[in-house]
Structure 1
């Protein structure tokens, strides 16, 4: 799941640092994630997984780290249903 999240961040987040330089618990906001970037990440996740993230889960904490995103997505969709990302 974390590999999937990293891929989405690479595509949509427009971070100030390379995604592969971040640890799972590093602060994405400190890495340059903006409010627009978080919306782009959310929209990419919803579009690619054909899900809607419940409004109650869309918080500052959701986008805090790769770990928090992966944990939340894992509750919404089983990892085995993720298609390999090229």
Structure 2
């Protein structure tokens, strides 16, 4: 999952630094992720993982870092298993 998320950040994030230079827990917004790019990234994640972000997870915290994105995707996947 980490590699896929990094690939999606490269594709949609348009960061001024290489994604492979960013630690999993580094702040993506401090690295240059914009609000527009985070929406594009969200759409890419939804498609790649066949999920849909619920309204309560559409926030800056969900996309703050690679680790946060992984945790959010796992949370969405886990909630589908319960439903």
TM-score (norm 2): 0.86
Coordinate RMSD, CA, aligned: 1.3
Corresponding residue for 1:36?
Answer: 36
Corresponding residue for 1:52?
Answer: 52
4+ runs deviating over 4 angstroms: none
Paired residue secondary structure (1:61): helix
CA positional deviation for 1:5: 1.1
Partners of 2:48 and 2:60 lie apart in 1 by 21
1:19 aligned onto 2:16? no
5+ long unaligned stretches in structure 1:
79-86
Provide Cα deviations, 1:36-75, integer angstroms capped at 9, x if missing partner: 1100000101122222110101111111100000111122
More helix by share: 2
Partners of 1:47 and 1:6 lie apart in 2 by 15
